[in-house]
């Protein structure tokens, strides 16, 4: 009898481990469903080829012939990278490993923007990884602005289903005329569909790609309630597996050259095909899994903030 009980226990343990992943701060969570690995469709390039130092040069360290880069926040400065070209539509991805330990007030952002060229009506597509104090875990926030719609934040926040400080994980932006998709390890976590309700604020102008780390104590911790504690500095964000596959405005010098019009499909847009027009069944399963199990804030649910919801929330 004892032998049978032991065998049953081992069977249950193996079965449980097949479907669960341990996460140090929040206990086990279910493994995400399988999805297409879009990051395997595009070539990886060195950071030294695709990006330049934006600020904090002494806190930007390139490794492995530029294939990897560390961006660092310490008492002297944060740091950041910017793409050498501006892009219209495309696939933009990097593997990121976040600083561990007490990271309250630290923000690492991987995003696209053209605020330098259009300061009053810029576009932006954001991954913002927010260091938090109470649970010592990171939170992922996504956001989108179009044509200067910065007064209407479109934030959504999710808890990650893994410890982002232990290994590299892929953060990806897919942007075309059909939709914007935010993906983590190829799993869609958010989709912004380009329809009539959102068309006026849908990003429409070429953007640069950025990766930055900075002190966001005032913005990210309730007005500085839990500021960055530099006793734990330096805060090192490690980047790798850079993929930039977009229509470069530097080469074409024309937005129209990147667009697909009614009669002539553009060969320059790497995400113009039918396979990028909508999410597959697998990808929809992954998206629903994230949003049902891991999302804890959406601007479309924030009735205290918005007396009148943005029009896309009512679609």
* 128 given a catalytic annotation: yes
- The closest alpha carbon to 93, from 142, 40, 155, belongs to 40
In three-state form (DSSP H/G/I as H, E/B as E, the rest C), the secondary structure along 142-203 is EEEECCCCCCCCCCEEEECCCCCCCCCEEEEEEECCCEEEEEECCEEEEEEECCCCCHHHCC
* 218 given a catalytic annotation: no
How many whole angstroms separate alpha carbon 231 and alpha carbon 183? 33
- Given 128, 191, 243, 312, the catalytic residue: 128
Contact in structure between 80 and 241 (CB atoms under 8 Å): no
How many whole angstroms separate alpha carbon 245 and alpha carbon 42? 7
How many whole angstroms separate alpha carbon 140 and alpha carbon 126? 10
Contact in structure between 207 and 100 (CB atoms under 8 Å): no
**What percentage of the chain's residues is helix, strand, coil (to nearest 5)?**
25, 35, 40
Residues in the chain: 315
Tell which phi-psi region holds residue 309, choosing left (phi > 0), alpha (psi between -120 and 50) or beta.
beta
- Given 36, 40, 124, 275, the catalytic residue: 124
How many whole angstroms separate alpha carbon 294 and alpha carbon 303? 20
Residues 6+ apart with CB under 8 A from 150: 122, 124
Residues with a catalytic annotation lie at 124, 128
């Amino acid at each position: 009898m004892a032998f049978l009980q032991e065998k049953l226990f081992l069977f249950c343990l193996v079965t449980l481990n097949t479907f669960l992943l341990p996460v140090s701060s929040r206990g086990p969570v279910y493994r995400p469903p399988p999805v297409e690995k879009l990051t395997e469709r595009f070539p990886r390039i060195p950071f030294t080829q695709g990006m330049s130092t934006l600020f904090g040069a002494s806190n930007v360290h390139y490794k492995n012939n530029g294939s990897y880069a560390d961006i660092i926040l310490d008492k002297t400065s944060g740091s950041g990278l910017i793409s050498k070209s501006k892009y219209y539509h495309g696939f933009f991805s990097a593997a990121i490993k976040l600083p561990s330990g007490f990271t309250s007030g630290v923000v690492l952002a991987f995003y696209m923007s053209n605020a330098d060229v259009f300061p009053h009506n810029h576009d932006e597509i954001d991954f913002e990884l927010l260091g938090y104090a109470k649970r010592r875990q990171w939170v992922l926030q996504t956001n989108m602005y179009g044509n200067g719609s910065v007064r209407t934040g479109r934030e959504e926040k999710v808890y990650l289903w893994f410890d982002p400080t232990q290994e590299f994980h892929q953060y990806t932006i897919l942007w075309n005329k059909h939709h914007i998709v935010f993906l983590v390890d190829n799993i869609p976590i958010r989709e912004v569909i380009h329809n009539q309700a959102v068309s006026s604020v849908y990003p429409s102008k070429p953007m640069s790609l950025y990766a930055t780390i900075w002190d966001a104590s005032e913005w990210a911790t309730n007005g500085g309630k839990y500021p960055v504690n530099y006793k734990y500095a330096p805060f090192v964000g490690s980047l790798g597996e850079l993929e930039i596959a977009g229509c470069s405005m530097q080469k074409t010098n024309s937005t129209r050259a990147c667009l697909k019009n009614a009669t002539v499909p553009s060969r320059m847009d790497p995400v113009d095909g039918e396979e990028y027009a909508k999410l597959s069944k697998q990808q929809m399963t992954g998206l629903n899994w994230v949003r049902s199990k891991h999302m804890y804030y959406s601007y479309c649910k924030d009735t205290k903030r918005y007396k009148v919801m943005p029009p896309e929330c009512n679609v």
